Each structure stands twice: as structure tokens, then as C-alpha cells.
Amino acid sequence: MRIDIITVAPELLESPFNHSIIQRAKDKGLAEIHLHNLRDYGLGNYRQIDDYQFGGGAGMVLMIEPIANCIEDLLKERDYDEIIYMTPDAQTLNQSISNTLSLKENILILTGHYKGVDQRIRDKYVTLEISIGDYVLTGGELAAAVVCDSIVRLIPGVLGDETSALTDSFQDNLLSPPVYTRPADYKGMKVPDVLLSGNFPKIEEWRSEKAYERTQKIRPDLLDE
Ligand code: 6GU
């Protein structure tokens, strides 16, 4: 998979992508991530990328020309399966979206800043708009890092333990059950006996039960879906 990201703050994305799961995917040749600085497409001597909004109001809007020129340059090199715009006024990311995106070959992500981008960019180029939750971030960069992490880890071969991505919370609309490791007794706090029993059908049953209980308590909305 190849992911191109257009951003006004590439330095915000360098560090997350040079660590963790994404670095592993890059090392294994399973994912490539390329950052493109929108400022390189800025207009005039000052490399202007934003301007006041028509109709008045606080906050700057990213201009159409720098973004369109950048996207057109990228489109000369390849087609994209999806052109994603990161914005709080969009549908919220969920596991199902990540699963679908993890199967794509080429993804372009545009991250907004300030008041967002000129609507005409969204109308002409964007095929998918994603928010990562009901709160406002300064820019879409951290949100883009979240999207990339959630999809790259699903690419076969990226995770060491092939089964672990499939048993995640949300993969089956349930939260994960509690987990424990050594010691079995920490100052009187004991690990549930069933996990030490070696009875694997029984352990699976216990885990399902706990997953259901936890979901019921913390995220009952998931059970309605
Ligand atoms: Cl994608 N961008 C910004 N700026 N804020 C957000 C977001 C995105 N998702 C949630 N909050």
C-alpha cells in the first residue's frame, strides 16, 4: 500500500511514522508513506496557502489553487483508490472503514487546518471524508496519523501475530475482555482461576462473557448495531 499525505505541517507526521507499527510496515516493504508539504505549492513570493473566507467570519481557509496543483501533480504519477479529506465535519472513523481502506493500493489523504479547505476541493477531488471523533483538533495531521495506524496494522504481515488484529476490540463490535500476565498473584490480587486452568473452551467462554459484560457496561450502543 502507498499512502500520500498533503499537509501544512509535515513535521507533525514524521515522528509517528518513524516509530511503531508504521515503521515496521515500511521496513517490511508492506507500506510506503509520502508526505507532501502544501507550502511548496503556495502562491507568490510568500507562498500563500490560505486566505480570508468570502462572506466574512473568523479563521482562514486553505485556498483552492495550491491544493489543486498539488493533487494534480500527484495524479500525474498514479490514480488513487480513495482521496480522503480529514475534517471534523464528516462521518466518524470506525473499524469497518479501516478494514475497507486496508485493502486499497493507493490512498491520498488531505489534512485541513484553520477553517478547513475551500469547498470546491471537496466537491472536485475528495471521495471520502473522515473525522476521528466529536472534538476539534488544531489540524487534521494527528487525525491522519490515527487513520494510517489503524489501516496499516491490518495489512497482512504487518503485525507479528497474524491473529491479533482479528481479535481486537471492535472487530466483532465488542470491547476486548480483560487480560493478565505474570505474576498470577500480585500482593493478593489474583488472576481469575479459569485463565490458569488450561481448559481452552472454558477460557474462550469466559472471555466472551467478559467482553459482553464490558461492552454492556461501557458501550451499550455497540450492541444495538
Ligand atoms: Cl479529521 N480534523 C480536525 N481538525 N479535528 C478533528 C478531526 C479532524 N477529527 C476529529 N476532530
Of 114, 139, 144, which is closest to residue 129 (Cα–Cα)?
Answer: 144
All structural domains of the chain: 2-152 (3.40.1280.10), 169-224 (1.10.1270.20)
pTM, entire model? 0.93
Closest atom of ligand 1 to CA, residue 113: 4
Which ligand 1 atom is the nearest neighbour of the CA of 134? 10
Q: Is 134 annotated as a binding residue?
A: yes
Q: Which atom of ligand 1 is nearest to the CA of 138?
A: 4
Is 136 labeled as ligand-binding? Answer: yes
* CA of residue 125 to ligand 1 center, whole Å: 19
CA distances from 98 to 25, 62, 152 (A): 16, 27, 9
Does 132 belong to an annotated binding site? Answer: yes
Q: Is the peptide bond before 183 cis (omega within 30 degrees of 0)?
A: yes
Pocket of ligand 1 (CB under 6 A): 86-88, 131-133, 135-137, 139-140, 143
112 Cα–ligand 1 center, Å: 8
d(CA 80, CA 74): 9
Which residue in 21, 35, 26 sits closest to 154, CA to CA? Answer: 21
Asked if the ipTM is above 0.95, the reply is yes
Ligand 1: distance of its center to the CA of 41 in Å?
A: 23
pLDDT per position in the chain (225 positions), as tens? 999 999 999 999 998 888 878 888 999 999 999 999 999 999 999 999 999 999 999 999 999 999 999 999 999 999 999 999 999 999 999 999 999 999 999 999 999 887 899 999 999 999 999 999 999 999 999 999 999 999 999 998 888 765 567 667 777 789 999 999 999 999 999 999 999 999 999 999 999 999 999 999 999 999 987
Is 186 assigned to a binding site? no
